[in-house]
Structure formats: C-alpha cells, structure tokens
A = this chain, B = another copy of it.
Amino acid sequence: MTAIHIDDPCDARILAYTNIRERDLVGRQGRFIAEGKVVLDVLTATGRFEIESVLVLENRLAGLHSILARLPPEIPVYTASSAVLDQIAGFHMHRGILAIGHRGQIADAPSLLDSLPDKALIAVLVGISNHDNVGSIFRNAAAFGVDAILLDQTSCDPLYRKAIRVSVGAALKVPFASFSDTRVLADQLDAKGFSQFALSPRGKRDIRNMNCKGPLALYLGTEGQGLPEAILARIQTARIAMAPGFDSLNVAAASAIALHQFASNIK
C-alpha cells in the first residue's frame, strides 16, 4: 500500500471528505463516513461494506499498518497534514482517521428476517431519532450477539456519522433494515414464530421472570412518549423493575439490560 499525500484541501480526490458537518445534514448520496481507528478496524474486518477510500493524518499512518493491509490494493489511502485535514473537514479533526464507505443495497426487512438463524434475537426500534441512542443500542446489540436490528422510518439512520462513532463500529457489523409499518412487521414476526415483547415502564411482566426460548423480538421506543399504544396493545409487554419515583432509564441503558437478559435466555 502506498499512501497518496494531499496538499490541496480542494483536491478533487478527497471531495467526499470536505465540510463533514454540512454533509452530515444533507446526506452523502449512497455513502457514509467512518471515523476513528476502532471503527476503521471493524469496517475493514467485516468486509460488509465496500470502501471507497481512506484519509488519515500523516502521523497516524504507521499505527494503522495492520488495518490498512486488509484493503484491496486498488483502494486509495490519502494522507494529509493536520492543517490540511482540518481545512478539508471544516473543523479540527483530532483523531484524524476517516474512510468513505458505500451503503450498497441495504436489505429490506422481509429478506433480512428470512436470513436469520432459528434462535434469532432481534431488536425493533420505533421512533429512536437520537443518534447517540441508536449508536449505543447497536453497540449493546453487538455485545450480546443480536442477529438483526429493524428500524422504523422515524428512527435515525445507523450509518449517520455520529451513530457509527458512538456504536464503536457496531453499526457496520450488526445487520439492519428499515420497515414502514409496525403492524405489518409484527404480523411477519408472528408468522415466523417470534415471541415479541414491547419494553415499557408500564410493561406487564418483569424481564427478570421471563424465560423465553426460540426467536425473540424486543421492541424499544422513545424515552418520553414510549412505544405507540397500538404496539403495546398488539404484543406482550415487559418492564425493567426500578426504584419508586425514578422510572426514567435511558433507552440505550434499558436495551443493555433487556438484551443481556434475553441473550441469556436464547443463546
């Protein structure tokens, strides 16, 4: 691998890296941006997404040798000085490790469900629009071997820059798909024999007392509003027991507790 040094922040070859924050808002036309050593490690190790190029601070290159050795030889690796990199990105990049990936064809929910193992554990996110929460839920999902995450269309894109970063790369690892109608999804999961549980502070069963076999889907909603009433009425509900007067667990923390519990049951 030979790195290509970039001196001009307007160089056409690194256009995809310019004005990172503005591009976060307008989208990247089929691409995503991955930041940091751990994320680049996951991106290159899984081979799930096609990598377009890598751009790193010149003084970080040596430390990335074993990660970059995984790249096909035709993938360009660009380097730049700190000053040039900051001009490209539009803000100070203290980490200085970036890569552009292609989203490719993201599976639709039915095909993803068809590909799952018999004892699958999946998470269904409804209205989780906060990037930190989506990233953290992916990280927890990877920690507990979740087989897939399904997101409704009001949830945040897992390949949004900040979500990938917070997930420490799990958003590039755990398979996901989006769906448009929660009731249709619940019917599909029923048809596939999934036990379905909606996590809610008002849930009927304490997750500590549940012992589920077979495939299981855990639904997670927003902290304020929670899951829609239609879902709470449609499937079984489960709760995490809390101290009186403070029933306010962050949804990512709740996902950690529930996925740990259900992974123990199933896996």
| Interface residues as binary, A146-183 with B (CB distance below 8 Å gives 1, 0 otherwise) | 00000000000000000000001010010000000000
A237 at the interface (CB under 8 A from B): no
- When the two chains form their complex, are residues A168 and B260 in contact, meaning their CB atoms are under 8 A apart? no
- When the two chains form their complex, are residues B257 and A145 in contact, meaning their CB atoms are under 8 A apart? no
Find residues 185-220 in chain A having any chain B CB closer than 8 Å to their own CB. 208
Cβ contact of A256, chosen from B247, B249, B267, cutoff 8 A: B249
A19 at the interface (CB under 8 A from B): no
A109 at the interface (CB under 8 A from B): no
Q: Given A252-B253, A256-B253, check contact A243 B208 (CB 8 Å).
A: no
Closest to A259 in B: B257
- When the two chains form their complex, are residues B250 and A264 in contact, meaning their CB atoms are under 8 A apart? no
Query: What is the distance, in angstroms, from A20's C-beta to the closest C-beta of chain B?
Result: 21
A241 at the interface (CB under 8 A from B): yes
Cβ contact of A246, chosen from B136, B143, B246, B253, cutoff 8 A: B143
- When the two chains form their complex, are residues B168 and A253 in contact, meaning their CB atoms are under 8 A apart? no
